[in-house]
Amino acid sequence: MGAAHPATVARYRLTRARVVVGVNAGVILAIGLSLLVPLALSLLYGDGSWRSFLIPAAVMISLGAAGMGATRITSRQAARYVLDRDVYLAVTLAWILAAVLGGFRSSSKEPLTASWTRPSRR
């Protein structure tokens, strides 16, 4: 067997990288969208911590949507070029991103406390 054409090798590597980045962009988008639930609850209860959810949600939704849009590929391309190790890498990075970004909190002047542990304002 002869060596593959350089253009084919480059397309192969680019598609593999796009799949890994695209999967992780989807994770970032999902985490950002999931922050909309505590944002809504914070606004509903008026506990004043809504900025801690709005800023990270806006950043993550923007980055996730941009990443998914930039790495869009067809399923035919993905099935043809993606290896098992690419899938393992994408899943491992997704778990790491979920852990890191799930704990991300925008800076706030007051310490992070649960609203039910604060003294009553009566």
Ordered by start, the domain boundaries in the chain are 6-104
pLDDT tens column, 41-78: 999 999 888 888 898 899 999 999 999 998 886 666 65
In Å, how far are 6, 8, 83, 111 from 3, measured between CA atoms? Answer: 9, 10, 19, 60
pLDDT tens column, 98-122: 888 877 665 555 555 555 555 555 5
pLDDT for 103 equals 75
| CA dihedral sign of residues 5, 15, 93, 49 | positive
pTM for the predicted model, two decimal places:
0.71
Task: Read off the tokens for 95.
Answer: 């778990």
